[in-house]
Amino acid sequence: MPRTDAALGAHPAEPVVQPARVQVPSLGIDVAVSPEGVDAKGALALSDDPAIASWYRYGPTPWSASGTSVIAAHVDSFDYGVGQFALLKDAPSGTEVVTTSVDGQTARFSVESVSMVDKTGVDWAAVFDRAGAHRLALITCGGEFNYSTGHYLSNVIVYAVPIA
């Protein structure tokens, strides 16, 4: 049996361009972004501080050619107060969203839709789509707060498409 070289050689993996900030200038949103995986419950790991958003590092980036790049943050926190993503629910269609990478690259998007979805009704497979048209999803909590569980009952999901 011939030996083969398992080295990447001529086909190195493309470096992943990681987002470092997300901004919605017209709403005054400007937050740091941290690359994250999932928590013990299988949900996107989020910082306790709503001023730090989480980008799902195993999915598309804002610079990918296809799929949905997901960035999420808490709407608020007992320790930190209301976060800037609380303003997302007010983003009209056409609002510009800018992501900036750790090396200064920018990707610009235009808000296509804003929806408040009951958490039990979110189609997470569609949100974390890796193969469809390229878009950005900004996600936070919203709607009614359930004091007995300590959680909001809905998610605000903003979809934005690349600006050519």
Q: Name the region of 143 (left: φ>0; alpha: ψ -120 to 50; beta: rest).
A: left
Q: Is residue 12 part of a domain?
A: no
Q: Is residue 70 part of a domain?
A: yes
> Cβ(145)–Cβ(131) under 8 Å?
no
> What is the value of pTM for the model shown?
0.89
β pairing state of 19-24 and 96-101: antiparallel
In CATH, what number is assigned to the domain containing residue 73? 2.40.260.10
What total of structural domains would you count in the chain? Answer: 1
Q: Is residue 5 part of a domain?
A: no
Q: Is residue 9 part of a domain?
A: no
Structural domain for 62, as ranges: 19-162
Q: What is the mean pLDDT of residues 26-49?
A: 94
DSSP at 8 = -
pLDDT in tens, 45-83: 999 999 999 999 999 999 999 999 999 999 999 899 999
Compute the residue count for the chain: 164
> Cβ(141)–Cβ(156) under 8 Å?
yes
Q: Is residue 2 part of a domain?
A: no
pLDDT on residue 42: 87
pLDDT on residue 56: 96
DSSP at 5 = -
Q: Name the region of 152 (left: φ>0; alpha: ψ -120 to 50; beta: rest).
A: beta
Q: Is residue 156 part of a domain?
A: yes
